[in-house]
Amino acid sequence: MALQNLIFLFFSLLIAQFPFSTAQNVVKATYWFPDSGISASDINSTLFTHILCAFADLNSQTYEVTISSNNQNSFSTFTSTVQQKNPSVKTLLSIGGGNSKASDFAAMASQASSRKTFIDSSISIARSYGFQGLDLDWETPQNDLEMSNLGLLLDEWRIAVNNESSDSPLLLTAAVFYSSDHYSVSFPVDSIGNNLDWINIMAYDYYTPASYSSPKVTGAHALLYYQPGRVSTSSGVDSWTGAGLSATQMVLGMPYYGFAWKLVDPENHGIGSPATGPAVSSDGSIRYVDIKAFIQNNAATSVYNSTVVANYCYSGTTWIGFDDVEAIRAKVSYAKEKGLLGYFTWHVAGDDNWVLSQEAYSGWN
Ligand SMILES: *[C@@H]1O[C@H](CO)[C@@H](O)[C@H](O)[C@H]1NC(C)=O
Ligand SMILES: *[C@@H]1O[C@H](CO)[C@@H](O)[C@H](O)[C@H]1NC(C)=O
Ligand SMILES: *[C@@H]1O[C@H](CO)[C@@H](O)[C@H](O)[C@H]1NC(C)=O
């Protein structure tokens, strides 16, 4: 082999070994919101690379991003507060959320002028409050036109964000449905891939006790692997990959909460056992920290099912499906093996003495 070829080979190997990339190494994120049970200063931010502060609002008249008066204080000090324990943690302001009106977002995204108002106000509010990024939580565009307007919004947002600061542009992310298809309406995957740093895949709430369409049997709400008749996290990730999004732009959501069901027969307590509906709360939702207290106080039996990757516990007629350390560990290894960018959790106040956050954090390393 000629010397030139050897030298070329040497440098090729060197470059392959040390890619000149500025991309994120890994995202270990969580969401926080006021009234969640802990204050920003309680967050053990050493366990996260990014913390999302939820939620800023969309003004339905002006289409500006606003922060409600109740949240002014906690949002304006959020970044400096969480950076006290971890100076390198980055913060993002999340806009919208499950309780906001999807139709307001659809109206905003339908006109160039309102998109510009939204975008400009989002950037100026992020900067003035000290956030390093923005997260769109529009749940969810309902039809092809709204999806295509979402694509336009992201195109224009990326241009504006890069124009505002070429040195350190704001991070731009979106919380999205577990699948690239929202009931057969496809997300604008090309625009998402071109414009967002990553998507936060909301990989939970698949199957819940208060949902009227569900058959009344117990089940996991965030199972990783396929079970006949149920959607799963792995099928969602596969759909995003199949639609053309790079795994390196996907951040996998994991719940710090579960759902409680009321069993028909306390002796019949597996996955798929007959149940009448929610227990414990009106929709059955219950935070991990409260599930641990339930297990303790009722001497409940705890089971891990590694086939679907989900934990559950039961005592008397109460059955709770949730993610404990085993499910979190399996999901983190899955995300890593699939080459995903990282994970996020909803929401940080659900954790019990940092057990799940520590499992996830060290599980990735
Ligand atoms: C925060 O997490 C770190 C890393 O796991 C741990 O060493 C520390 O004890 C935690 N702090 C608190 C207050 O739990
Ligand atoms: C780019 O930035 C300049 C200066 O901040 C601003 O005046 C202009 O409107 C921006 N352009 C876009 C497309 O956001
Ligand atoms: C795990 O769950 C699946 C799906 O419900 C079920 O078929 C299987 O028997 C369960 N495995 C164990 C060990 O309980």
Task: Please work out whether the CB of residue 160 comes within 6 Å of at least one atom of ligand 2.
Answer: yes
Mean pLDDT check: name the lowest of 110-114, 118-122, 208-212.
208-212
Name the residue of 225, 273, 308 whose CB sits within 8 Å of the most ligand 3 atoms, as the mutation to test its pocket.
308
More reliable by pLDDT, 21 or 131:
131
22-256+324-364: CATH topology: TIM Barrel (3.20.20)
Task: Assess whether pLDDT exceeds 80 at residue 287.
Answer: yes
Task: Assess whether pLDDT exceeds 50 at residue 1.
Answer: no
Atom of ligand 3 nearest to the CA of 271: 5
Task: For residue 198, count CB atoms less than 10 angstroms from its CB and return exposed for 0-12, middle for 13-18, buried for 19 or more.
Answer: buried
Tokens of 27: 């995202």
Task: Assess whether pLDDT exceeds 70 at residue 11.
Answer: no
For the chain, the domains span 22-256+324-364
Which residues, 6 or more positions from 177, have their beta carbon under 8 angstroms from its beta carbon?
139, 140, 187, 202, 236
Among protein residues, the one whose CA lies closest to atom 5 of ligand 1? 358
Residue 354 is given by DSSP the state T
Task: Assess whether pLDDT exceeds 80 at residue 69.
Answer: yes
Kindly state the average pLDDT of the residues 132-149: 98
Is 139 tagged catalytic? yes
Kindly state the average pLDDT of the residues 78-102: 98
Kindly state the average pLDDT of the residues 256-270: 97
126 CA from centroid of ligand 2 (Å):
16
Kindly state the average pLDDT of the residues 82-102: 98
354 CA from centroid of ligand 1 (Å):
7
As for ligand 1, residues whose beta carbon falls within 6 Å of it are: 44, 46-47, 354, 358
Report the alpha-carbon angle 332-214-278, nearest 5: 80
Is-above-0.85 flag for pTM? Answer: yes
